[in-house]
Structure 1
Amino acid sequence: MLKTHVAARFTALAASALALALTASAATPPAPHWVATWATSPVFASNTTGKFDAAAPDGITLRQIVHLSIGGSSFRIQFTNEFGTADLKISAASLATVGAAGALTSTAMPVTFGGHASVTIPAGAMMVSDPVSLKAAPLSDVAVSLFLPSQTIDAMTLHSFADTTSYRVPGNSVTAPALTDPKTFTTWMFLKGIAADAPANAASIVTLGDSITDGALSTRDTNHRWPDVLAARLQANAATRNLGIANEGIGGNRVLHDTTGPNMLARFDRDVIAQPGVKYLVVMEAINDIGHSFDPSKPYDPITADELIVGYKQLIERAHEHGIKVFGATLTPYVGAKYQSPAGEAARQAVNEFIRHGGAFDGVIDFDQVTRDPANPGAFLPAYDSGDHLHPKDAGYKAMGESIDLKLFR
């Protein structure tokens, strides 16, 4: 009888414990899985002349337009003051879907920081917002609006060439459905990235490079950069539509020396390792290292192909330590560009040979082969040349994005 009583009591306790566990499990939502759906690479810009009117008495609202890769219903925004020399004060911010001329197509959802509407970002720092509830489709545009109270900003943190029109007005208009008589600008100010709460199998692809990855000379407001073309293809494929794109291209950037922004080795942790959900990396950079080093009229910061290869190997090693696959993209043609030279072309060919056959990368994307003129392999195919013989035009970017084998991302 005692054994029966003990067994019954044990069974009851076990059942109660199981019920409690199931109740707790049902009551606890899954942890968010944050994946970068948009990103940019900020640089320093001086504002000592006061061209950016941050000290206006009524403050200023910036409504900045960005193009998402994957969609979602919950997002976090990363704001940055990393190149600032003083605190950056943000009194209010919002996130909404957006249409023409910065007009909102959804309710402006408030952006908070630890539950507070305002935040002060110290000089040299970045801040991530609380999750923001907003339904936004893949490949859609959203508006990040922020109100900066009157303050002195001598050192700006911005992405210089957004090729996307954004808007600013005096006063606090972060929730206004439309802005009255806004001024336009084509930089991204104080923004670093947006992450979506995505399914567990979602991940991000970082595209790390210079102006060609940044989409220089593509048509403004059309999202014709090669990473945008890739993002659209990923969304059209059921096996890859949970992959986001974080475009970390900076016009003029170099692998081994600072110029426009920190060199690639220096910014690697910020722009790659710190990106939420990153699983893949595409590297395409070195043409500015080569061009300036071998410039026939004014060479500076000399480098060799071997030094660039050592730099690539460093990036690969650091990425692999974090479980990130790295794909090397060959350098596109530049014969005819202002800083081209026979010695520089030889260096480009040596670097491309390493990318293709060195065995260091996890895969190869041969942009050189896609864009070169078969009759003059050192130069762009005329149909893809923007006219400066260094950057593609829209058709060239389209060809680059369409040439990428989606089987790499599996």
Structure 2
Amino acid sequence: MTSATLKHVVVGALFCSLAALTPAWSTAGGPLASNMHWTDAWTASPDSAGPPLGTVTVRQVIRTSIGGSSVRIRLSNLFGTAPVTIGPVHVAEHASGSEIKPGTDHTVTFGGKARATIAKGGDVLSDPIALSVAPLEDLAVSMYFPTRTGTSTFHGVGNDTAFITLTGDATAAIRFPPGEVTSSRIFLTDVEVATGNEAQTIVAIGDSITDGVGSTQDKNSRWPDALAARLHADPAHASIAVVDAGIAGNRILHDGATPFVGPSALVRLDRDALNKPSVHWLLVMEGINDIAAADMLATPRDDVSTQQIIDGMKTLIGRAHKRGVKIFGVTLTPYGGVEWPFHSAAGEAKRQVVNAWIRHAGAFDAVIDFDQVVRDPAHTDCLLATFDSGDHLHPNDAGYKAMAAAVDLRLFALRR
């Protein structure tokens, strides 16, 4: 197995600094009401340092999981080695490819200014943008870098095409100039929407399976995407957002060490999950990389036991409960057929022990049994062939859809 394959086989991580800046101004001109109720509608957890960027424009397409009357965005310089200046920044309704819909473009401001300078390791939240968005609507966020950056902040497995042009400031261009493309997320970590007070957010935190590895590029076919579509289609749950805090290569207990990626779930929990506006539920699907690392990494600290993984889950549960957030445990799906050393007989035995604890210990507020959904009944250590993306670890679009379809929506009783 190549190192590139291993990077996708391991199942994702990281943290972003979420210093909440209270917006005072609207890009429509003048202050907005201070009592707006904000809900996180989309996220991409920063997980790695990216290359420096020259004077380029980057356009990224995101899908909101809930609608609202205004939006605001968060940019992160978490992995930066120096301050970074970004601007102008624009947001518009996405048309297709790299194009935006005419007449929908809006300038984004930060404290009333068209540019933001973000400190090393910091982030910035924009002013509210008077743009009404529908649930499951695609938006394009375009940002210009007026000077060369230092190390950039990436979410490696974006699974959506981002467009880069070297032709100067193209943030307002309807037809984006030709250039380069990437499937990573660059500096952009959150899109929030102003909603009614009843809106609440589910955060799915996990590794590459939550991050959507194996799903079709540009199709929003990850299991959190499919869950958001189900909730929107049900009038009783249409005010619930779902955001995807998965990081391909993540672990619960330890930070990234090649081929694993990013700070641990324990490190990033507050920044990537509990600090999200309107969060009420946390879905945790992590642990398979902790298991695999025991066979893949030589350092004794990475040779973790099932009890250490369970204790890490208990810590996540305690911290969520302390914040008044319900936390649901998701069983680890099969990975038989993945090449050694990521898969081993000892690793499979550990997966069975961890899953048994998730199912029967009663520590989580509820259990979502994805293992049972996608496994082959005749070979329970393997994915069902019709759900296998081909690497024997990550589901395909049909598998992710089946996982989302198995979630009992009654778990998400709205709090009034």
Instruction: Specify the alignment match of 1:279 in structure 2.
Output: 280
Instruction: Specify the alignment match of 1:118 in structure 2.
Output: 115
Deviation for aligned residue 1:123: 0.2
| RMSD of aligned residue pairs (Cα, Å) | 1.5
3-state SS of 2:132 partner: strand
Aligned partners of 1:216, 1:368: CA distance in 2, in Å? 17
User: Identity over aligned residues, as a percent?
Assistant: 46
User: Which structure has the highest helix share of the two?
Assistant: 1
**1:313-332 matched pairs, under 5 angstroms:** 313-332=314-333
**1:43-192 matched pairs, under 5 angstroms:** 43-47=47-51, 52=52, 54-55=53-54, 59-105=55-101, 106-153=103-150, 155-170=151-166, 171-192=168-189
Deviation for aligned residue 1:273: 1.5
3-state SS of 1:223 partner: coil
Alignment counterpart, residue 35 of structure 1, candidates 32, 35, 39: 39
Deviation by residue 1:34-62 (Cα, 9 ceiling, x = unmatched): 11100011122252xxxx5x23xxx2111
Aligned partners of 2:176, 2:33: CA distance in 1, in Å? 38
Contact 1:108 1:174 in 2 (8 A): no
**1:218-297 matched pairs, under 5 angstroms:** 218-259=215-256, 260-295=261-296
Aligned partners of 1:386, 1:299: CA distance in 2, in Å? 31
Deviation for aligned residue 1:238: 0.5
Aligned partners of 2:370, 2:338: CA distance in 1, in Å? 17
Contact 1:385 1:396 in 2 (8 A): yes
Deviation for aligned residue 1:73: 2.1
Instruction: Specify the alignment match of 1:354 in structure 2.
Output: 357
TM-score normalised to the size of structure 1? 0.88
- The farther-off stretch of 101-110 and 226-235 is 101-110
Aligned partners of 2:127, 2:149: CA distance in 1, in Å? 26
Alignment counterpart, residue 382 of structure 1, candidates 385, 392, 395: 385
Contact 1:98 1:143 in 2 (8 A): yes
Contact 1:292 1:299 in 2 (8 A): no
Deviation by residue 1:167-190 (Cα, 9 ceiling, x = unmatched): 111211111111121322111100
Deviation for aligned residue 1:221: 0.6
Deviation for aligned residue 1:299: 8.3
Deviation by residue 1:79-137 (Cα, 9 ceiling, x = unmatched): 00011010110121011110111211142111111111111000000100000111221
What amino acid maps onto 1:314 in structure 2?
Answer: T
Instruction: Specify the alignment match of 1:407 in structure 2.
Output: 410
Instruction: Specify the alignment match of 2:6 in structure 1.
Output: none
What amino acid maps onto 1:44 in structure 2?
Answer: S
Aligned partners of 1:243, 1:347: CA distance in 2, in Å? 34
Aligned partners of 1:135, 1:382: CA distance in 2, in Å? 42
1:214 paired with 2:211, answer: yes
Deviation by residue 1:216-260 (Cα, 9 ceiling, x = unmatched): 021101010000000000000001111111100000111111111
Structure showing greater relative contact order (alpha-carbon pairs closer than 8 Å, 6 or more residues apart): 2
Instruction: Specify the alignment match of 2:398 in structure 1.
Output: 395
What amino acid maps onto 1:114 in structure 2?
Answer: G
Instruction: Specify the alignment match of 2:3 in structure 1.
Output: none
TM-score normalised to the size of structure 2? 0.87
- The farther-off stretch of 346-355 and 29-38 is 29-38
Unaligned runs of 5+ residues in structure 1 are 1-27
What amino acid maps onto 2:195 in structure 1?
Answer: A
Post-superposition, which runs of at least 4 consecutive aligned residues in structure 1 deviate over 4 A?
Answer: 297-300
Which structure has the larger Rg over C-alpha atoms?
1
- The 1:29–1:79 alpha-carbon spacing in structure 2 relative to 1, beyond 3 Å, is closer
Count of paired positions: 373
Aligned partners of 1:148, 1:128: CA distance in 2, in Å? 17
